[in-house]
Chain A
Amino acid sequence: MTAVLPVEPPIHFRDLVAAEWIKLRSQRSTPWMLAIAAVVVTGSAVVAAHADYANFPRYSPADRLTHSFSLSDAFPLAGGLMLMVIAASTGAATIVGEYSSGLIRTTTVAVPARGPVVLAKAVMTATFWTLAGAIICAVSFAVSQAILDGRHAGVSITSPGAFTAFVGATLLAPVCAVVGLGLGVLIRHSIATTVTAIVTLVMLPIFLSTQHRLTAEIHHAMVFSAWQRLTEAYGPPEVESAHVQAGQLIPGLYPSLSEAWISYAAWPLVALLLAVLVVRRRDV
């Protein structure tokens, strides 16, 4: 028997990633989703920046001097939410689409190593959304600050917090996409996955009070809270705490910077870990 046994061709993980890229590329919804994300996210930055541009003359001299709204105009709430929803649902679609069509069986027969298939999808999804997020966020930043420069209220990427905000805004897309993918593997049903992803990523932080210790801890562990801290949604931390002291803001909205980065890393990793563990044991 040993004489007959063939030599296995070498196994390359990159072949799996390349195959996933072919699948994503050949899906007609991909360019549409990307276009919608790009238009809505950059558009919301234009709207936010233009609003502050228009209102600028009515601001107090102190506010005009600090213009602490500049960063959050580059990465406003509407755009962030939209990016979360689109990235999470397209991330989920890379696997849920296979489950709902039954293509997963063909995929699994072709590549019985199920864990690497999920990881390949994660690598491809994360890479795709990191690049897409970076381009979209760079445009958002550049355009919004160009508008605010008209009031001498723009910031440059080297300003304090600006680069962190850019990276945080960019990575929101791959983080949500990979969480969506992990949930998709676990849930397998298209609508249930999308709803779960949106509830977990977007809505849960709204339900969690920051007034109580426990719920505040959970709130701080959320991807959305991390994004708010990284992009300085309520202004730089010192401005935020000033607003809190003045009674204009609820206290405890911001997690610490390190908490924010940990959330960004932990959510996709835990989602992937669970997905890989489950997919290896379950009947396809």
Chain B
Amino acid sequence: MVATPSAPGIRPGSYNHGRLHTGGTTVHGPTTHRGGGRHCWRVIDVNGLTKRYGAKTAVDNLSFTVRPGHVTGFLGPNGAGKTTTMRVILGLDAPTTGTTTVGGVPFRSHRRELRHAGALLDAQQVHGGRSATAHLWALARSNGIPRRRVTEVLDEVGLTDVAGQRVGGYSLGMKQRLGIAAALLGDPPVLVFDEPVNGMDPEGVLWVRRLFRRLAAEGRTVLLSSHLMSEMANTADELVVIGRGRLIAAEPVHSFAARSTRPSVAVRTPQADELATLLTAAGAQVERSGPACLVIVGLPAERIAELAFDNKILLHELTVRTGSLEEAFMRLTADSIEYPAGLPG
């Protein structure tokens, strides 16, 4: 078991601790695994998943694995198939071909799921006429989760003061918090969130980021989708990037950043042709961006300056440009076919 932090809030097994008394027998909940085995039952596995709706292929032969102990960002532009993939993982939609498993078994093989996995798919999908307490209590009751757990998760997401109010009057950010509370009800080892940050204020964004990181640090599997790379760069350690239903990348954020944010150097010089020939000979990729402007990839700025100096080429400007993760993501997803999965760029 991953070390339990002493911070207040939700900890693995914080409500059942292996004790769930039903009719005199003690039952171990899924969060209280003993024997120190590996985390195989926490893994989300997507294997050759294809989902078609009529003639439209939403997800095309998608395979990836989400492991515990990390926040995994599930990225793609709108319409890339993120929500469809999550719906298949969560057993809502049946795959056309391929399989998805959570903890080694198809999601639907469990009859009650909140203790195995929690999910927030769309925060707006609540009954507006009910209070947060009633919404959570009905969910908890269906899974045999004790009432006090509702109070705990409401406290965790900061909705205690408004728990008795109608959910219809909540802002989107508050509904997101309610959805997160619902996902946490069963204290599950696997958590799936679809666009959880939408509609949250900056304070809420910081809170939710810390929460996700803590849940992952507790050894849980945390999968969260977004169409914003900038959001993921600050939250996730692992990335699964898809475009048009296909896998583009599945790797740690830092290696994705290292291979996709190519630094470039912009040079302005009256001797552009001469410099371009020199730099190409030195192994750089050179692009003309204007009559006296070059963009160079593959050589550091110092080396370019040295070459220019050695060859008496006058430089009017030398600027280092670092591509942002967001740009890299846009470039990758703009044309998914040219960037097959796993291959360095």
- Show the binding face of A for B, using Cβ within 8 Å: 1, 3-12, 15-16, 18-20, 22-23, 25-29, 97-98, 101-103, 105-113, 116-117, 281, 283-284
Partner of B32, one of A6, A19, A23, A102: A6
Q: Which of B93, B130, B141 contacts A19 (CB 8 A)?
A: B141
B129 near A27 with CB under 8 A, answer yes
A22 and B122 in contact, given A97-B127, A101-B127, A111-B111 (Cβ under 8 angstroms):
no
Are B139 and A110 neighbours in the complex by a CB distance under 8 Å?
A: yes
- With A4-B40, A22-B137 already in contact, the answer to whether A103 and B112 are too (CB < 8 A) is no
Does B268 sit at the interface, judged by CB under 8 A? no
Tell me whether A111 and B113 are in contact (CB under 8 A).
yes
Q: Could you jot down 21 A-B contacts, CB within 8 Å?
A: A3-B34, A6-B30, A10-B27, A15-B141, A15-B144, A19-B141, A22-B137, A23-B134, A26-B131, A26-B134, A102-B122, A106-B119, A106-B125, A106-B126, A109-B121, A110-B143, A111-B113, A112-B109, A112-B110, A113-B112, A283-B87
Which residues of the partner chain B approach A19 to less than 8 Å between Cβ atoms? 138-139, 141-142
* B contact residues vs A (CB 8 Å cutoff): 20, 22-23, 27-35, 37-38, 40-41, 87, 90-94, 104, 107-115, 117, 119, 121-122, 124-131, 134-135, 137-139, 141-144, 179, 182
Given contacts A22-B137, A105-B92, 7 further A-B pairs with CB under 8 A are A9-B115, A15-B143, A18-B141, A105-B87, A105-B125, A106-B121, A111-B111
Instruction: For residue B36, give the distance in angstroms from its CB to the closest CB of chain A.
Output: 8
Q: Whole-angstrom distance between the alpha carbons of A16 and B141 in the complex?
A: 7
List of 3 A-B pairs having minimum Cβ-Cβ separation, nearest first: A102-B125, A4-B37, A26-B134
Q: Which residues of B contact A1 (CB under 8 A)?
A: 37, 40-41, 104
CB distance from B154 to the nearest CB of A (A): 15
List chain A residues, Cβ under 8 A from B117. 109
Best-surrounded residue of A1, A4, A101 (most CB of chain B within 10 A): A4
Distance to closest chain B CB from A97 (angstroms): 6
Known interface pairs A15-B142, A106-B182. Does A112 touch B130 (Cβ–Cβ under 8 Å)?
no
Select A6's contact among B33, B111, B122, B179, beta carbons within 8 Å.
B33
Task: Report the minimum CB–CB distance from B91 to chain A (whole Å).
Answer: 5
Cβ contact within 8 Å between B143 and A111: yes
Residues of B contacting A: mostly: loop
Which residue of the partner chain A has the closest CB to B116? A6
Please indicate the chain B residues that have their CB under 8 angstroms from the CB of A97 in the complex.
127
Give Cα distance in the complex from A12 to B141, angstroms: 10
A9-B29, A12-B144 as given contacts; A112 in contact with B121, CB under 8 Å: no
**Whole-angstrom distance between the Cβ of A98 and the nearest chain B Cβ:** 8
A25: chain B residues at CB < 8 Å are 134
- Minimum CB distance partner of A10 in chain B: B22
Which residues of A sit under 8 angstroms from B23, Cβ to Cβ? 10
Contact of B91 (CB < 8 Å), options: A27, A101, A106, A112: A112
Kindly list chain B residues whose C-beta atoms are within 8 Å of the C-beta of A20. 138
Q: How far is the CA of A157 from the CA of B35 in the complex (A)?
A: 66
A109 close to B91 (CB less than 8 A): yes
A4 partner, pick from B20, B35, B125, B131, beta carbons under 8 A: B35
Residue of A nearest to B140 (CB): A19
Distance between Cα atoms of A16 and B28 in the complex (Å):
21
Nearest B residue (CB) for A108: B92
User: Which of B31, B33, B104, B125 is within 8 Å of A103, CB to CB?
Assistant: B125
B129 nearest CB neighbor, chain A only: A28
CB pair B138–A26 under 8 Å, yes or no, is yes
Give the residues in chain B near A108, CB-CB below 8 Å: 91-92
**List of A residues within 8 angstroms of B141 by Cβ:** 15, 18-19, 22
A113 to B144, CA, bound (A): 14
Contact of B112 among A11, A26, A283 (CB under 8 A): A11
Query: Which of A98, A107, A116 has a CB less than 8 Å from the CB of B111?
Result: A116
- Name the distance in Å between B184's Cβ and chain A's nearest Cβ: 12
Residue in A15, A97, A98 with the greatest tally of chain B CB atoms within 10 Å:
A15
**Whole-angstrom distance between the alpha carbons of A138 and B115 in the complex?**
45
Contact across chains for B27 and A9 when beta carbons are under 8 A apart: yes
The reply to whether A110 and B125 form a contact with Cβ atoms under 8 Å apart is: no
A22 to B137, CA, bound (A): 8
Tell me the smallest distance from the CB of A114 to a CB of chain B, in Å.
9
Residues of A within 8 A of B108 (CB): 112
A8, B144: Cα distance in complex, Å:
12
Contacts of B182 in A (CB 8 A): 106, 110
With a cutoff of 8 Å between Cβ atoms, the chain A residues found around residue B94 in the complex are 281, 283
> Once the chains bind, are A111 and B126 in contact (CB under 8 Å)?
no
- A225 and B129 CA atoms in complex are apart in Å by 36
Q: Which chain B residues border A109 with CB–CB below 8 Å? A: 90-92, 113, 117, 119, 121
CA–CA, A66 and B182, complex, Å: 62
Across-interface contacts of B138 in A (CB, < 8 A): 19-20, 22-23, 26
**Chain A residues closer than 8 Å to B91, beta-carbon distance:** 108-109, 112
Q: Contacts A10-B22, A27-B130, A112-B108 hold; do A102 and B143 have CB atoms under 8 A apart?
A: no
In this complex, what residue of B is CB-closest to A20? B138
